[in-house]
Amino acid sequence: MKEVNSEIIVQGIVSDVNYANIEDLALGADVILDGTDNLETRFLINDVSLKLKIPWIYGGAIDTVGMTMTIIPYETPCFRCIIPGEVYGTKGLTCETAGVISPAPMITASLQVAEAIKILVGSQKINRDLIDFDVWGNRFKQLKFNGRRDDCPACGQGRFEFLDGNFSTRTTRLCGQNSVQVSAPGDMDLSFERLAERLRSAGNVDYNDFMLRFNVDGSEMLIFRDGRAIVKDTDDEAFAKAFYTKYIGI
């Protein structure tokens, strides 16, 4: 970035974004751009955006589709207005299991950057709709909402449940076993059949009535029906959480 513009200051931070550090990371920002790959972090961004009154721009891409939306705290619907908390803990596709073709994230990112520029220069032409497109199916839509939801726990009722850590993914080192347990938030009842179908494109899968075993690139994970998993042959909790997120989709 500095090669493009030598006058800017770039501060790189290597960190696992979570409910304990996201406020410090966001403090003082004029706008937040979402380049994340999971719902937990996006709900965290939504909470800190509302608490600190910082606009943020959601963006996501999977397979051949992309979506983006600009969220202005207490003016537009927030992320939990359009994606209720009840869907959190359900298992969606990930780039590792469904893939993604490069035009989808490129278009998503371009639209996000355009919105960020509008916010920074004070433009009145900020997009307040959800943009949804499919580069393979030649579809481009703008989905309009009727404003903020009064019953939204975040912007309607002022409860920052993700920022409070109520729904965070937990990791625990298993003493003497060189393994890390990852506990997903919420109550879950996984279908091993559907999960195995998704994961087979990425690695080796087998399962019984009680657990699913997944192997990829020399790493192994045991997954249970309640969403809990054990990542074997590591004591690195950050790696275990990232591995879980990468393939399971939280």
Instruction: Judge whether 236 and 180 are in contact, CB under 8 Å.
Output: yes
152 part of the active site? no
Largest CA distance in the chain: 59
Of the residues 95, 152, 155, 175, which is catalytic? 95
Q: Report the alpha-carbon distance of residue 204 to residue 181 in Å, rounded.
A: 20
- Spell 38-67 as b/e; 16+ CB within 10 A means b: bbbbbbbbbbbbbbeebbbbbbbbbebbbb
As to burial, measured by CB atoms within 10 angstroms (0-12 exposed, 13-18 middle, 19+ buried), residue 160 is buried
Active site residues per annotation? 95
